[in-house]
Amino acid sequence: MASVSLKRAPKRVVTFDVFNRRVRTLGMIAFSVAVLAVMMLLAQVLGVDGLQTRLDVRNQPPSWANPFGTDWLGRDMFTRTLQGLTISLRVGLIASALSAVLGLLVGLAAATLGGWVDAAITWLIDLFMSLPHMVALILIAFVFGGGVNGVIASVALTHWTGLARVIRAEVLQLKTADYVQLSARFGHSKMWIARHHLLPHLFPQFVVGLLLLFPHAILHEAGITFIGIGLSPHQPAVGVILSESMRHLSTGYWWLAVLPGLALLVMVKSFDALGENLRALLDPRTAQE
Amino acid sequence: MLKAEQISFRYTHNGPWILRDVSLAIEAGEVVGLSAPSGRGKTTLGKILAGYLPPLTGRVSLNGAPLPKSGYCPVQLIFQHPELAINPRWRMKRVLEEAFVPSAELLRDLGIEAGWLNRWPHELSGGELQRFAVARALGPATRYVIADEMTTMLDANTQAHIWQVVLDHVRRRKLGLLVVSHDAALLGRLCTQIISLPHL
Amino acid sequence: MLSVRNLSITFAMYEAGLRRRAITPIAGLDLDVRAGELLGVIGASGSGKSLLAHAVLGILPSNASAAGQIWFKGELLTPARQEALRGKEIALIPQSVGFLDPLMRVGRQVRRAAQLSGASSPVEAQRRIFERYGLRPQDARLYPFQLSGGMARRVLVSTAAVGQASLIIADEPTPGLHPEVVAETLRHMRELADEGRAVLLITHDVGAALTVADRIAVFYAGTTVEVAPVADFQGDGAALRHPYTRALWRALPQNEFISLPGAQPTPDDLPAGCLFAPRCPLATAECRAARPELRPVRGGWARCIHVES
């Protein structure tokens, strides 16, 4: 047993260990937001000057002037990567927002309408989940004719299932919860119960679900762009950069693929950490630790 | 009079019967005990009497009319586990006043302290939460109370306290009370009549 | 076997943002349980009964800090020793099947408990313990959700009794069960004590504890107010030492069914003096000034300055 001296003043505010769970969680959230903000800001500040073709500085390794080196046309890879990430972020944001809203609506419909609607939706969710992700992504992107629309549609249409399932389960559980049924016996209408008991419970789930969709959306966007049916080569998206760089890997220009890849990884992990830590904070079971 | 006539119930089509042709009646001002081993549908019967579940066959009536489908239900059910009957994301004041604003007198009788109203449910003990559940069930429009193992999880002192308050209200306002419990000594203390559910 | 000396447990709870508040649900708890003895631990919810079990097993959450001493078989318990003893020397009978692995057949869970406690043949140990508690061999193939109330109790007792644990802690083993199942579970507790083990029976149900315990420890607001032999719980409770114990005894429906006004103090707002003073009919200025010590009174213990020793 650790021996700690305990004073006997009621309701005192105590500083326990500084690096307790909530401080760490909030720290991680702040750090993730900062990383993402710096990336976006740098992209704005640097502008597109670095994208000019400069044949005199072709294939330069990383240096102070060009932190990520330059490519076979002398373009600054750092600028290209940041611009690419900005595009990826924008596409990812639209795709995951669409996907999350779709998941929310489908989950709510399944749980509230019940009966054959629920059965059909559950079947659909299982179908989507049993399909290999990449295959579905490629097929849908192909149907929509590739490009930005194809990427958004394919990511949105393949990623709603997880959140739909969570929302459906939560609503079903809440509907039968004693306190919700009791609320109806107190004379409150269905709308009142939905607004006061259900929505405040679902909202955090939705936000966390949305945030955790983000890294998937960005990775998959990069993935299908990499194999050539996503964004067009004229848009300097990360997937495009990575796919072009592959051709130059064997020539020893490692920085063309490795550094943009690392940047993508940092961004994806930041979003992941943001979502996971927010989830820990919002869950009453882990919020106190 | 709260009356259940020939109630039968099962959860799934072709599932086992939970209740079969159960009838009972509670007069206003009367305290009836219901005792039966677990698994004989006591909780289900309580939920049917308070309008939580519709009976498969038979009917529940209050003074000859069916229970109202909307609005405050004059038959209120108090659960065994108060922590499940309270929204964990609400402060206690909001929980308490969800249906109506209880009188200061009722809060004092139940020993609900002013400081508890600002707390979250997880900061209070089961005995403290159950006092809130009782206060909420004793609304002005309440005519009948179904207490399903209401004090089973509580210590003897809190149990005696809560029952004193409930019995006092029952007498003063001529409420009908159904006490569901397997504690024979408790039922003997509280009830004028004890019925048991048959084995199916 | 087990001695708890002046145990205090403090939790850091978040209020808003990063501001934290300390609450002390256990403040000055003392307890002894001997080999072959069944000690009933009773008290209201929020009196710190379950936390005591968690403290002895060393499974308090990370935002808790403990002070005081816990001795087991004459040795001071440290977190490392607790981890080594848990499941082997000290076993827990939990409240519900919710504590079992829902995806594992119960037979396998009992065998795993046997293995953990060092049984040479877990299969044989599980077969014997099932026989002892009237479970059929084929019941081992059931999953926790398939157990009826009575069977679930027997499985939970089996997981603790299958090993050689010399201290068994039962945390509310009879929550809202039918009298027959309660009686059976209590009988099993008694048998475990009669085999020479020390049993700690934690319950809110005074009546249940009295039927099988040797002594009763009464908790109030996280402190031990009295330890009494069961024989003292009789008649009008005159043999009892602490006013709270007497109030609990009188509140039983089979006795006077009268309650004491007021409520247990909340753990973040404990009175400076005796924790029971705000509700005590005997309280004086002296009671409100300082916390009384637990002292020996007529073959038991009481934390009250007014009781004659």
Q: What is the CATH number of the domain that holds C227?
A: 3.40.50.300
The interface predicted TM-score (ipTM) is 0.91
> B-side interface with A, Cβ within 8 Å?
50-52, 70-73, 76-77, 79, 81, 84-89, 98-99, 122, 136, 139
Is A186's Cβ below 8 Å from some Cβ in B?
yes
Of the listed ranges A257-271, B97-111, C170-184, C187-201, the least confidently predicted one is C170-184
Instruction: Kindly state which CATH superfamily the domain A21-51+75-282 is placed in.
Output: MetI-like (1.10.3720.10)
Structural domain contains residue C140? no
Distances (CA, A) of C251 to C232, C236, C256, C275: 16, 11, 6, 20
CA distance A177 to chain C (A): 18
| HSE-CB of C49 using CA atoms within 13 angstroms | 28
Q: Which of A242, A234, A221, A232 is nearest to A152 (CA)?
A: A221
CA distance B200 to chain A (A): 26
Structural domain contains residue C272? yes
Strand partners, C41: C202, C217
More confident residue, A164 or A40: A164
Domain count across chain C: 1
CA-CA distance, C148 to C139, in Å (whole number)?
A: 11
Is A179's Cβ below 8 Å from some Cβ in B?
yes
| pLDDT, chain B, mean | 91
CB-based contact A197:B87 (threshold 8 Å):
yes
Q: Would the CB atoms of A20 and C12 count as touching at under 8 Å?
A: yes
CA distance A171 to chain B (A): 14
pLDDT given for residue A46 in this prediction: 79
Q: What angle do CA A157, A159, A160 make, to 5 degrees?
A: 80
Which residue of chain C is at minimal alpha-carbon distance from B131?
A: C263
Query: For the segment A214-264, what is each residue's pLDDT rounded down to a tens digit?
Result: 888 888 888 888 887 777 777 777 877 887 887 777 777 888 888 888 888
CA distance A17 to chain C (A): 10
Structural domain contains residue C154? no
Structural domain contains residue C155? no
Query: For the segment B56-65, what is each residue's pLDDT rounded down to a tens digit?
Result: 999 999 999 9
- Highest mean pLDDT pick, A76-90, B131-145, C117-131, C134-148: B131-145
pLDDT given for residue A284 in this prediction: 62
- Helices A255-282 and A77-113 sit at what angle, rounded to 10 degrees? 40
Residues of B in contact with C253 (CB under 8 A): 159-160, 183, 185-186, 188-190
Domain boundaries, chain A: 21-51+75-282
Residues of C in contact with B91 (CB under 8 A): none
Query: For the segment B42-55, what is each residue's pLDDT rounded down to a tens digit?
Result: 888 999 999 999 99
CB-based contact C123:C162 (threshold 8 Å):
no
Structural domain contains residue C247? yes
Whether domain B2-64+73-196 has CATH 3.40.50.2300: the reply is: no
Domain boundaries, chain B: 2-64+73-196
Q: Would the CB atoms of C263 and B128 count as touching at under 8 Å?
A: yes
A11: left (phi over 0), alpha (psi -120 to 50) or beta: left
> B-side interface with C, Cβ within 8 Å?
37-39, 80, 111, 113, 115-116, 123-128, 149, 152-161, 163-164, 182-186, 188-190
CA distance C206 to chain B (A): 7
Question: What is this structure's pTM?
Answer: 0.81
Query: For the segment A43-86, what is each residue's pLDDT rounded down to a tens digit?
Result: 888 777 777 777 787 778 888 878 888 887 888 888 888 888 88
Q: Which two tokens stand for residue B69?
A: 């489908």
Q: Would the CB atoms of A14 and C62 count as touching at under 8 Å?
A: no
